[in-house]
Copies of this chain bind each other. A is one copy, B any other.
Amino acid sequence: MSDLLSLTFAALADPTRRAILARLSNGDATVNEIAAPFDMSLPAVSKHLKVLEAAGLITRSRTAQWRPCHLEAGPLKDADGWISAYRRFWEASFDRLDDYLRQLQAGDPEKTN
């Protein structure tokens, strides 16, 4: 499970880590700022940040003393690229639902093809 795409998906497989990324989408933040809305200890939050950092989803400044965390979208782009290959499947499902709803609106669905 050492490939980057697997690391990315594994990092996203946790609601707290997804909430941290959502927080960072509003701007860089320190560990304390990230931890504030969660009922979690700082070490627990730090553990989540390490998982996100290992997957390349966040970086932490080495210069500023408070080491703010920064969202890195590259791995999300790769994950999106993988998933997008399957887009035709759910778009096809919606097309079929559209057809069915149109048949219903047109009258008795038993009489339509």
Binding site for B on A (CB under 8 A): 1, 3, 5-10, 12-15, 18, 21-22, 25, 71, 73-74, 76-77, 79-80, 82-87, 89-90, 93
Q: Please give me the 7 A-B residue pairs with the lowest Cβ-Cβ distance, nearest first.
A: A73-B89, A9-B13, A10-B13, A77-B90, A73-B90, A9-B12, A76-B86
Rounded to whole Å, the gap between the CB of A84 and the closest CB of chain B is 7
CA distance A71 to B89 in the complex (A): 9
**Number of identical protomers:** 2
Interface on chain A toward B: helix, strand, loop, or mixed SS? helix
* Contact between chains at B93 and A18 (CB < 8 Å): no
CA distance A18 to B4 in the complex (A): 13
